[in-house]
Structure 1
């Protein structure tokens, strides 16, 4: 006679089951709903939500944005929005979406962001293309989503701590809507509007700033208002002509791109410096930086394959 197994896990308190489900992937979390009546809606309390195009849509990883058919977009939208409509949790800690479409479906995306903001999201990660900027042949086919900064809460009302945006347009007049951020990552972002060198000055709690493949910014000035900034990465930003740094707590600075003017006014805690420029004279550039920044412990200056470091 076969002994019937007892389901001890299902007897655990709701908050424990919610924690267990939160450790699973979205797909596996939804699958738990068929285990028993007790588990039917547990997935709907997940606080870390991630919707990846390639996980939901069966499509080759190298598909270009122009090759995405409307039926697949509609299917992705239906799956995501059905999940959001069923969500029962009061808090969303992390909300991540990676999809192969942009501003044509902007109203849908705006609704997702509004949902996350209402749930007190802390980590917002949005990517609106499935290609890689370095391999992109025709930039005109990219339907840049216009990120709606007006949907974010002002100042201390916001719970947002980490924001990552890829392949979208961002108006530079975000003012205090980014003031609670400790991490900001902008990749393949069109900085629009009246873009000023001090555009990030209102991000007073920023500790890590990454700008990659961004365009629209001619000069970048990091001043005293960013007194918490520790890590700055600027890579392959088209049109950038100069960077001026005056950040007392900055410990790491990485730059890669065209030859530009670098100015270090006050960086007493800078310990790691990496500079790669297209046409720079490696030896003379290294000598100048070493003289200007004698306290830097790790310094690398590179040009293509040429490199000089200490």
Structure 2
């Protein structure tokens, strides 16, 4: 067989369509130029995607590229582009008439009010093809960069879920963004649902999520992102395995009873957490990136919160946790150890490598004795330097010059350290020298270098030489 022969073209079309179904729509369309056989093959993908963003001219800010033109001119251009998207959708769905079913149907459209009949037709045709996954996104063009604050009315209530969707009994996955739904109508639809994702939706009261989950006895995954109005979320489920609460700005209290939960992610402000024990938990991610004001009392609440993730093997914490632990540096490790040794063996710390985070980082290393892998993710979190100074704490007084606790992970189990966005700053070196000096089990150091850092290899050599002074050779890997 010739070496330059196209082996993909030898595969049956059914297999090629399956491969194309695993690609994004843009990548799948690009294959049409490969050969004559591939020209229309992407149209028969089993996952149908209609997205007006692929037709609208959008700038980097998520707005229409011609928004500064004359209003009538811009609206006429946008209308022409959306009509082209509608026609594309009809042609694609007509190609599916010979297919017994489609695996998923995704519709993203920024002006559903003006095309309600067309949108309902698309959804109806998708359900007629026995789709298992339905994704409806009617958010504004720039919604990804926004939070649901005072302008929430602009982003919600843009489309009502049609009645025939509630009567569909074979759906396994449902995603609704800026879409109004009736939770009391989920009696039939919810019987088969295993995954629900809600975004930019007005949750009017605390009973909504409780009723939704109750009507979905098989539910395994629940994502609530940028929803608002209700200040209390109550979630109770025996089947739920993944729960993600993301940037729900009005939220004040979160209650979760889910004994089979394996993944918990939270991003938002510091709220009142009422979490049950999660004996099957594998991963936990807590990010208080929306906090705007420093509250020293949060330090007393961190330990009880993290103790709920006692069984998790992987834990991710944010910079705010490292900063606020100044105020609980004596009781924080003890509060977790009262139940024994936490099982976390993979810890990720989001950090700016600022001195105000150092004591908190030190305490986290002391609290998780079974830790084998430590990851630092460099970013630009809010640093409350002035608040700490006003409260009389010397943030430049750190523990890196002292020998670590014998009960912590550094001297016993820590094997791998990784920094994402390594810049070679003085503060990064302080932490790394500490870990190299006292990390008896340390085997590997991974430095994923930030852009425009030309001194990475020189810095890596310095770290290798430092390691040689304390133990055998340390494997330092530099990734540009």
Q: 1:162 and 1:193, CA in 2 relative to 1: closer, same or farther beyond 3 A?
A: same
Q: For residues 207 and 49 of structure 1, what CA distance do their matches in structure 2 show? A: 24
Alignment check: 8 A CA contact 2:238 2:259 kept: yes
Q: For residues 254 and 34 of structure 1, what CA distance do their matches in structure 2 show? A: 41
Question: Of 242, 263, 267, which aligns to 2:278?
Answer: 267
**Equivalent residue, structure 2, for 1:97:** 107
Q: 1:227 and 1:149, CA in 2 relative to 1: closer, same or farther beyond 3 A?
A: farther
Alignment check: 8 A CA contact 2:172 2:194 kept: yes
**Equivalent residue, structure 2, for 1:241:** 252
Alignment check: 8 A CA contact 1:197 1:219 kept: no
Question: Of 77, 86, 93, which aligns to 1:77?
Answer: 86
Alignment of 1:61-72 (within 5 A): 61-64=60-63, 67=67, 69-72=78-81
Alignment check: 8 A CA contact 2:206 2:231 kept: no
**Equivalent residue, structure 1, for 2:119:** 109
Aligned-residue RMSD, C-alpha: 3.8
Deviation at 1:29, TM superposition (A): 4.8
Write 1 or 2 for the structure with the bigger share of strand. 1
Structure 1 unaligned segments of length 5 or more: list them: 1-5
More off after superposition, 241-250 vs 270-279: 270-279
Q: 1:259 and 1:286, CA in 2 relative to 1: closer, same or farther beyond 3 A?
A: closer
Question: Structure 1-normalised TM-score?
Answer: 0.77
Q: For residues 39 and 270 of structure 1, what CA distance do their matches in structure 2 show? A: 45
CA offsets 1:210-264 (integer angstroms, 9 cap, x no match): 11110243322222xx222122111221332322111111123222323422112
Question: Of 111, 124, 135, which aligns to 1:125?
Answer: 135
Alignment partner of 1:283 is 2:293:
no
Q: For residues 9 and 285 of structure 1, what CA distance do their matches in structure 2 show? A: 57
More off after superposition, 94-103 vs 277-286: 277-286
Q: 1:12 and 1:306, CA in 2 relative to 1: closer, same or farther beyond 3 A?
A: closer
Q: For residues 274 and 23 of structure 1, what CA distance do their matches in structure 2 show? A: 31
Q: 1:293 and 1:283, CA in 2 relative to 1: closer, same or farther beyond 3 A?
A: same
Q: For residues 202 and 8 of structure 1, what CA distance do their matches in structure 2 show? A: 49
Q: For residues 35 and 308 of structure 2, what CA distance do their matches in structure 1 show? A: 65
**Equivalent residue, structure 1, for 2:46:** 47
Deviation at 1:140, TM superposition (A): 4.4
Deviation at 1:209, TM superposition (A): 1.3
Q: Secondary structure at the match of 2:131?
A: coil
**Equivalent residue, structure 2, for 1:3:** none
Question: Of 161, 180, 193, which aligns to 1:181?
Answer: 193
Q: Secondary structure at the match of 2:208?
A: coil
Q: How many residues align?
A: 301
Task: Flag the structure with more relative contact order, 1 or 2, with Cα contacts below 8 A and sequence separation at least 6.
Answer: 1
